[in-house]
Amino acid sequence: MGTVLNDSDRGRRLLVTGGRVWRESGALLADVLIEGGRVAAVEGGLKPRDGDEVIDASGLDVFPGFLDIHVHAGDRIGPYELADSWASAAQLALRNGITTLFGFVTQRPGETLTEALHRCRARSAGAACEVRFHLTPTRWPWDWSEIETLMGDGFRTFKLYTTYRDAGLFTPYDRLAEAMGQLAPRGGRVLVHCEDEATLAEAARCAVNFRDPFSHALLRPPAAEVAAVQRVVDLAHRTGCPTHVVHVSTAEGASVVAAARAAGAPVSCETAPHYLLLSDDCLRHGDGHRFLCTPPLRGEAVREALVEQVLAGAVDCLATDHCPFRRDDKDAGHGDIRAVPNGLPGVGALVPLTFEALVMRYGMPVARWAAALTCAPARVVGLDGELGVVQPGARGDLVLLARTGPPQPVQASLADVYDPYRGASTSVSVRWVIREGRVVLRPGARHAP
Ligand SMILES: [Zn+2]
């Protein structure tokens, strides 16, 4: 995992000339030389040698390969086999300039965490992107000798849930505190799904019409997220364990993270495109059950306020929580929200639609948008300097993007799913994608060679 190099690549050189090369601090007009799969130089006036492959990037934006650190594919969630395999998710990701995906290894009953990892790796082998994993141990107490071995192999991120008791994923705050206290000195990090079980239980006491998709939003209110985020960032402060809050769906949740970060807590957060682009209005129509996800889509005012938080810098990363259920599985629950699997696809929407919305519509600086897809997620997964940056020594993964092309349809997934962005098109076009110095997508090609 993590390399596509073979012997013939060792001396391979690729020169990308004249592009706007984006870094966290802004853009510079420069050439990028990749040699042996790694960035060798970023400067003006680099001259090709005989045999070098040269790409003219004049007029194009050059970014490090994008990361999506929150993807579900090639897995079964409860009784539902996800619609995307890793092959199909990675194929679409690559077309969109995403060169690294992170999925989740969730330990099943009767299985060690290492066995779970092998199961997931077997299903991601051969994917067109790099696929890496966060780990979810589900047996308490954790087997620390196994965890330490896995951490030694580079698995340092642990995904935990403050909810989902029925699915066997719930971690109470006292156990979360203990795990964080143990992980901190070992160099681990937790990623936490934040919805407070007590607040959810309170919401469930009201009369609920399970036929109405909007009830899902009432059952999982913003207050549940905010309460859990507050508890979890307090634990991060107390234990010193680096903590990343996944799929923040409310402005208040994002601002709690931002305030804790400003106060010195080792915290970060992500939001997903559907919380920025869609609202709970989608739940009010006849096909509302197809838009069910957890946390739920929020009201328009919350959505707008979350966008403001992103523009203000409160949210570190953009990540999809791509969770593609088959049409049949979504529709089987029509008429009873308890029977609808919760999740939305998004891998194909992440890059074009967040660029269109955040940069083109709301004026977010390109460098800040790019950071949320590159260096910020690379930091969360402990791969900063290696991924998410165009600088000498970094992995030679690049995306060359044109901002204005002919409108093209946006497709959230290649699988048989309901697309929450159906009808959307984009003028953003990913022209070239390079993985470890090798061209894997070129203009006009719909598929990697
Ligand atoms: Zn998820």
* pLDDT tens digits along 320-334: 999 999 999 999 988
Task: Kindly state the helix (H) or strand (E) to which residue 113 belongs, with its residue range.
Answer: helix 113-124
Question: Residue 70 C-alpha to ligand 1 middle, in angstroms?
Answer: 6
Query: Looking at the predicted structure, is the pLDDT value of residue 449 above 50?
Result: no
Average pLDDT over residues 287-292: 97
CA–CA gap between residue 418 and residue 85 (Å, rounded)? 16
* Alpha helix positions (H), 127-272: 144-152, 173-186, 197-203, 214-219, 222-239, 251-262
pLDDT value of residue 56? 98
Query: Looking at the predicted structure, is the pLDDT value of residue 448 above 50?
Result: no
Query: Looking at the predicted structure, is the pLDDT value of residue 336 above 60?
Result: yes
Question: Residue 75 C-alpha to ligand 1 middle, in angstroms?
Answer: 12
Question: Residue 160 C-alpha to ligand 1 middle, in angstroms?
Answer: 10
The answer to whether 258 and 306 are in contact (CB under 8 A) is no
Question: Residue 272 C-alpha to ligand 1 middle, in angstroms?
Answer: 10
Among residues 114, 66, 108, 124, the alpha carbon closest in space to that of 320 is found at 66
pLDDT value of residue 3? 52
Model confidence at 166, pLDDT cuts 50, 70, 90, reads confident
Residue with tokens 């509302």: 288
Domains and CATH numbers, the chain: 7-63+391-441 (2.30.40.10), 64-380 (3.20.20.140)
Model confidence at 4, pLDDT cuts 50, 70, 90, reads low
Average pLDDT over residues 225-234: 98
pLDDT value of residue 111? 97
Question: Residue 121 C-alpha to ligand 1 middle, in angstroms?
Answer: 18
Question: Residue 208 C-alpha to ligand 1 middle, in angstroms?
Answer: 25
pLDDT value of residue 444? 79
pLDDT value of residue 206? 87
Question: Residue 61 C-alpha to ligand 1 middle, in angstroms?
Answer: 30
Question: Residue 62 C-alpha to ligand 1 middle, in angstroms?
Answer: 29
pLDDT value of residue 112? 98
Average pLDDT over residues 272-277: 98
Average pLDDT over residues 100-106: 98
Q: What is the pLDDT of residues 394-426, one digit of tens each?
A: 999 999 999 988 999 999 999 999 999 999 999
Model confidence at 92, pLDDT cuts 50, 70, 90, reads very high
The fraction of the chain above a pLDDT of 70, given in percent, is: 97
Q: What is the pLDDT of residues 195-228, one digit of tens each?
A: 999 999 999 998 889 999 999 999 999 999 999 9
How high is the mean pLDDT of the chain?
A: 95
Query: Looking at the predicted structure, is the pLDDT value of residue 9 above 80?
Result: no
CA–CA gap between residue 90 and residue 131 (Å, rounded)? 8
pLDDT value of residue 38? 98
Query: Looking at the predicted structure, is the pLDDT value of residue 447 above 50?
Result: no
pLDDT value of residue 220? 97
Query: Looking at the predicted structure, is the pLDDT value of residue 23 above 80?
Result: yes
Contact partners, residue 165, CB within 8 Å, separation at least 6 = 197
pLDDT value of residue 2? 47
Q: What is the pLDDT of residues 257-266, one digit of tens each?
A: 999 999 999 9
Q: What does the block give as tokens for 248? A: 């923040």
pLDDT value of residue 283? 97
Query: Looking at the predicted structure, is the pLDDT value of residue 252 above 60?
Result: yes
CA–CA gap between residue 148 and residue 145 (Å, rounded)? 5
Query: Looking at the predicted structure, is the pLDDT value of residue 378 above 80?
Result: yes
- DSSP notation for 30-73: EEEEEETTEEEEEETT--PPTT-EEEE-TT-EEEEPEEE--B--
Q: What is the pLDDT of residues 234-251, one digit of tens each?
A: 999 999 999 999 999 999
Question: Residue 342 C-alpha to ligand 1 middle, in angstroms?
Answer: 10
Model confidence at 13, pLDDT cuts 50, 70, 90, reads very high
Question: Residue 72 C-alpha to ligand 1 middle, in angstroms?
Answer: 6
Question: Residue 294 C-alpha to ligand 1 middle, in angstroms?
Answer: 8
pLDDT value of residue 205? 93
Q: What is the pLDDT of residues 55-90, one digit of tens each?
A: 999 999 999 999 999 999 999 999 999 999 999 999
Burial pattern 300-316, b for ≥16 Cβ within 10 A else e, equals eebbebbbebbeeebbb
pLDDT value of residue 1? 41
